[in-house]
Amino acid sequence: MSDVLVFAETDGREIHPITYELLGKGRELCDKMDASLAAVLLSGTSMEPDELFYHGAEKVYRATDEAFSKPLEIPFKEAVVQLVEREEPKALLIGATNFGRSLAPRIAMELHAGLTADCVDLDVDEDGDLIQIRPAFSGNLLAHIKTRSSPQMTTVRYREMEKPERNESLEGEVVELELDISPEAMQGLEILEERRTEKVDLEDADKVVSGGRGLKQSSDFELLEELAELLGAEIGASRPLVDEGWIDRAHQVGYSGRRVKPKTYIACGISGQSQHLAGMKESDTIIAINNDPSAPIFEYADYGIVGDLYEVVPELIRQLKGGS
Q: Are residues 116 and 25 in the same domain?
A: yes
Count: domains in the chain: 2
Q: Are residues 55 and 83 in the same domain?
A: yes
Q: Are residues 213 and 243 in the same domain?
A: yes
Q: Are residues 190 and 207 in the same domain?
A: no
Range of the domain at 216: 202-320
Sign of CA dihedral 248, 139, 94, 9: positive
pLDDT in tens, the chain (324 residues): 458 999 999 988 899 999 999 999 999 999 998 899 999 999 999 899 999 999 999 999 999 998 898 888 889 999 999 999 999 999 999 999 888 998 999 999 999 999 999 999 999 999 888 999 998 876 778 999 999 899 999 999 988 899 999 999 999 999 999 998 887 666 655 544 544 445 677 888 999 999 999 999 988 999 999 999 999 999 999 999 988 888 888 899 998 788 899 999 999 999 999 889 989 999 999 999 999 999 999 999 999 999 999 999 999 999 999 865
**Single residue among 154, 170, 194 that ends a domain in this structure:** 194
**Single residue among 194, 219, 253 that ends a domain in this structure:** 194
Q: Are residues 68 and 177 in the same domain?
A: yes
Can you give the CATH number for the domain in which 175 is found?
3.40.50.620
**Global pTM?**
0.74
Q: Are residues 207 and 169 in the same domain?
A: no
- What pLDDT score was predicted for residue 187? 60
- What pLDDT score was predicted for residue 189? 53
Q: Are residues 187 and 206 in the same domain?
A: no
Helix/strand/coil for 92:
strand
Q: Are residues 141 and 40 in the same domain?
A: yes
- What pLDDT score was predicted for residue 212? 95
Q: Are residues 138 and 242 in the same domain?
A: no
**Single residue among 194, 227, 249 that ends a domain in this structure:** 194
Can you give the CATH number for the domain in which 249 is found?
3.40.50.1220
Sign of CA dihedral 176, 18, 134, 131: positive
- What pLDDT score was predicted for residue 13? 85
Q: Are residues 182 and 211 in the same domain?
A: no
Q: Are residues 76 and 139 in the same domain?
A: yes
Q: Are residues 153 and 301 in the same domain?
A: no
Sign of CA dihedral 267, 97, 163, 69: negative
